[in-house]
Amino acid sequence: MASATYKVTGMTCDHCVRAVTEEVAGLDGVSEVTVELVPGGVSAVMVSSAVPLSDEAVAAALGEAGEYHLAGA
């Protein structure tokens, strides 16, 4: 089991949380997604998965969810 926390920009509300959670949870091997929302700032997205996820896979899922990006990417 792997766990990682990703810093994500662009999230402002509960709709953002639901969209990001749904897309990231859809990645292969993901068992849990938890979001600590910081409206308009840098939110934390905690992911538990069977294997470590690549930043590229997470970034792609964020892009599918909306205008969300890995901070510093």
Instruction: Tell me the average pLDDT across 29-38.
Output: 98
Cα distances (Å, whole numbers) of residue 65 to 11, 20, 46? 10, 5, 16
User: What confidence score (pLDDT) does residue 65 get?
Assistant: 98
Residue 73 has pLDDT above 80, yes or no: no
Tokens of 40: 């308009």
The answer to whether residue 14 scores a pLDDT higher than 90 is yes
* pLDDT band at 70; cut points 50, 70, 90: very high
CA gyration radius, the chain: 11
CATH of domain 2-70: 3.30.70.100
Give Cα 6 to chain centroid, integer Å: 6
SS3 20: helix
- Report the pLDDT value the prediction gives residue 72, as an integer from 0 to 100: 81
Q: For the chain, which residues make up each domain, given as ranges? A: 2-70
Phi-psi region of 5 (alpha: psi -120 to 50; beta: other; left: phi over 0): beta
